[in-house]
Structure 1
Amino acid sequence: MPETTVSPVTSIVRRVLYAVFALFAAVMLVYLDRGGYRDNNGDGVSLLDSIYYATVSLSTTGYGDITPVSETARLVNVLVITPLRVLFLIVLVGTTLAVLTERSRQAFKIQRWRSKVRDHVVVIGYGTKGRSAISTLLSDGRKPEQIVVVDTDQNMLDSASALGLVTVHGSGTRSDVLRVAGVPNATAIVVASNRDDAAVLITLTARELNPSAQIVASVREAENVHLLRQSGASSVVVSSETAGRLLGMATKTPTVVDMVEDLLTPEAGLAIAEREVEQSEVGGSPRHLTDIVLGVVRDGTLYRVDHPEADAVEAGDKLLYVKKVTPASDR
């Protein structure tokens, strides 16, 4: 069911008004039946005395200087004043404590999460690109609680929370927001902003907070790639040109596009993966392995399988290969 969010201050003010209403009702009941009450000084019960009696009665102070003496006044105290006293305490004291406890609990949970989380992935922007990136991370075995989403759209964050992801509301261009998201301790950062200028600023801020993280950024225009590289991006994906190339290929060789899409979709079919070289494979040619090897990563540099440097596999190399993925429904 939809839930209306009310700020703690509004909640407290609203309940204080309820308590004042309960106090006013008690004052009127006492004043209208003032003949049934007796004041120790013997001068009768005035309006001020009624306010005084209602206040000390509802707050359970009860000095005893004004007391109900008639049967009617005592019956009203039992049937009306006492329930109002309970309502007054619940509304004013109970709600205030609940609001303060909830805020403290949330602050404690955030602080505990920030102190423990390590090697997580921060995705800045939960649009089409951000959601696709998260889908790939989840299919690769990343746990939802190890993924943090940063966005300014609360509806987007609610959708991410429904998947079990950690969410942070705010702009990724702000360093304080990125600190809350745990960027200083993240192992990877995905910049999926819809604007290239924002992507540059986000990348620059993230790199300043975490000099060693793998930062992957997306841009729409190829001319902005060098700006992201200079800002500290480890990898840059040109979304518009990549989509345009696939569209152009689809006009003549749609099956090639289908194969590329299959390789880029990790849920089923074929997928491009990376693995360590096994000891038994050292010294051999990657072309003769049982896996379909596309490239060799050596000291952080990628060599295609037809490159002279990739003729023989060395210890410490990583292989980019094509693997078959079994759908989750068939496992």
Structure 2
Amino acid sequence: MQHDDNTVQRVLRGVVLPARIRSPWWELGRRLLMALAILTGTVALVYLDREGYYDNTDPTKKVDLVDAIYYTTVTLSTTGYGDITPWSTSARLVNAFVITPARIAFLVLLIGTTLEVLAAQGREMFRVARWRKKMQEHVVVIGYGTKGRSAANTLVQNGTDPETIVVVDPRSTARDEANADGLAVIAGDATRRDVLRRAGVARASQVIITTDHDANTMMATLTVRQINPEAYIVAAVREQDNVPLVRQSGADAVVTSSEAVGRLLGLSSMSPTLGEVMEDLMTYGTGLEVAERDLLVKEVGKQPQSLPDQVIAVVRDEQVYRYFDPVVTQLARGDRLIVVRPAKEQPWAPRPGTHNEDSSLDDD
């Protein structure tokens, strides 16, 4: 997965810490300062002990500041012309035990910087190529604002592997947040075909669209549907009037965010307890949850109201029926149940105590 310029995690003996990620320019500047410090320190050593050096090109044999700078640069770069040489014992000892290690450190610093850049680029290219190769039947989340992030978190909390979620967003802050959450990110405008193709929309199984404007949502939906006619598309719109347009653009499901929030506000105003229950159903991980699960073999032929779970709807032949609908008076093989259940249970799991039982979809 792609993790450059983002927050990644290191795990050491069960301790999870965010890695410190610095800008490449900051790293380059730091290394240049270190190289300059080595040069400056070596020049100072040579100049302070200049009486211990001969300048074979100068009749006076004296070494000045310019000679010290010259000697340092050719020595640290291992060029070594031999025109300036140390002759005193102190100068030779300084060269042996100080300047030689400084020369090694200088070379390691310069070569290490080049190798690290090349190695990092190679590793990143390999990771991206491997990610693209294995990315099949994944989920694409367009827009990583409040709605997009909540949708991605819900998927992850319900068992979806974060490595199978790809975020598309043009904003750097949103991309950083997605990377921090362990998700791959494609930078760009989701209404553009090339951006969606980089996200692998053609091979995606689901696409969640949560842009800031309904017009962008319609354009993104149209483009996604043209690239992938089989993907299941869920889109969020702000205005109820735009729901039919987004559906005509190719969305399988459309959620009206402003209408949902407004209804919740109205219910909370009329009945605080009802609003509390509704918010509980919409909040993951605590209290009650709305979930979908398979019908168990032993539940075939029973009425929805007689099951341990609180059944609110039955899915039969891709149609949704309310639990009181005469069509689903008796549950049949292949039905799926929409239930209200404790949040601690996995949404797709049967009731506690029946986990080893066969689904009605299993063969006899």
Shift of 1:100: 1.9
Q: Match of 2:316, as an amino acid? A: R
Determine whether 1:241 maps to 2:259: yes
**Unaligned 5+ runs, structure 1:** none
Once the two structures are overlaid, the 10-residue window that deviates more, 272-281 or 158-167, is 158-167
What is the aligned residue count?
A: 325
Once the two structures are superposed, residues 288-320 of structure 1 have per-residue CA deviations (whole angstroms, 9 ceiling, x without a partner) of: 433332222223221222334323333222221
Q: Does the 8 Å contact 1:123/1:148 carry over to 2?
A: yes
Distance 1:176 1:90, change over 3 A: farther
* Contact 2:138–2:203, Cα closer than 8 Å, also in 1: yes
Taking the aligned partners of 1:141 and 1:35, their CA distance within structure 2 comes to 72
Distance 1:299 1:220, change over 3 A: same
Instruction: Return the letter of the residue paired with 1:263.
Output: L
Please give the secondary structure, in 2, of the residue aligned with 1:255: helix
Higher mean alpha-carbon deviation, 193-202 vs 287-296, is at 287-296
Secondary structure of the residue that 1:211 maps to in structure 2? coil
Amino acid in the other structure paired with 1:203: T
Q: CA deviation at 1:95?
A: 0.9
Q: What's the CA shift for 1:55?
A: 5.9
2:312 corresponds to 1:286: no
Scaled by the length of structure 1, what TM-score is found? 0.77
Q: 1:312 to 1:45 in 2, by over 3 A?
A: farther
Call closer, same or farther: CA 1:79–1:232 in 2, change over 3 Å. same
135-144 vs 315-324, greater mean Cα deviation: 135-144
Aligned with residue 278 of structure 2, among 251, 260, 263: 260
Note the C-alpha offset of 1:73.
6.0
Equivalent residue, structure 2, for 1:59: 77
Structure 1 residue 227, shift from structure 2 partner: 2.5
Please state how far the C-alpha of 1:201 moved relative to its aligned partner: 2.3
1:63-115 superposed Cα distances (whole Å, 9 cap, x missing partner): x6646263376456446643442243133211111122122222222222232
Work out whether 1:70 is the aligned partner of 2:87.
yes
Q: Distance in 1 between matches of 2:144 and 2:264?
A: 24
Q: TM-score, normalised by structure 2?
A: 0.71
Query: Of the candidates 105, 111, 123, which is equivalent to residue 105 of structure 1?
Result: 123
In 2, are the aligned partners of 1:267 and 1:327 still within 8 Å (CA)?
Answer: no
Tell me if the contact between 1:204 and 1:232 (Cα under 8 Å) persists in the aligned partners: yes
Preserved contact between residue 268 and residue 327 of structure 1 (Cα < 8 Å)? no
Structure 2 counterparts to residues 71-150 of structure 1, below 5 A: 71=88, 74=92, 77-78=95-96, 81-150=99-168
Q: 1:81 to 1:299 in 2, by over 3 A?
A: same
User: Which residue matches 2:338?
Assistant: 320
Equivalent positions of 1:208-223 (< 5 A) are: 208-223=226-241
* Alpha-carbon distance, 1:238 to partner: 0.6
Q: 1 CA distance for matches of 2:29 and 2:289?
A: 57
Contact 1:37 1:70 in 2 (8 A): no
Secondary structure, aligned partner of 2:159:
coil
For residues 149-164 of structure 1, the aligned pairs below 5 Å read 149-164=167-182
SS at match of 1:250: helix
Query: What residue in structure 2 maps to residue 274 of structure 1?
Result: 292
Work out the percentage of aligned pairs sharing the same amino acid. 44
Aligned AA (2:235): A
Determine whether 1:197 maps to 2:215: yes
Contact 1:295–1:310, Cα closer than 8 Å, also in 2: no
Contact 1:297 1:303 in 2 (8 A): yes
Number of the residue aligned with 1:165: 183
Give yes or no for contact 2:313–2:337 (8 Å, CA) kept in 1.
yes
The answer to which structure has the higher helix fraction is: 1
Tell me, in whole angstroms, the C-alpha distance in 1 between the residues paired with 2:154 and 2:36.
56
The two structures, once aligned, show a CA RMSD in angstroms of 3.9
| C-alpha contact 2:221 2:249 (8 A) present in aligned 1 | yes
Q: In structure 2, what is the Cα distance between the partners aligned to 1:69 and 1:307?
A: 100
Whole-Å separation in 2 of the counterparts to 1:247 and 1:50 = 78
Q: Which amino acid aligns with 1:102?
A: A
Counterpart residue type for residue 23 of structure 2: V
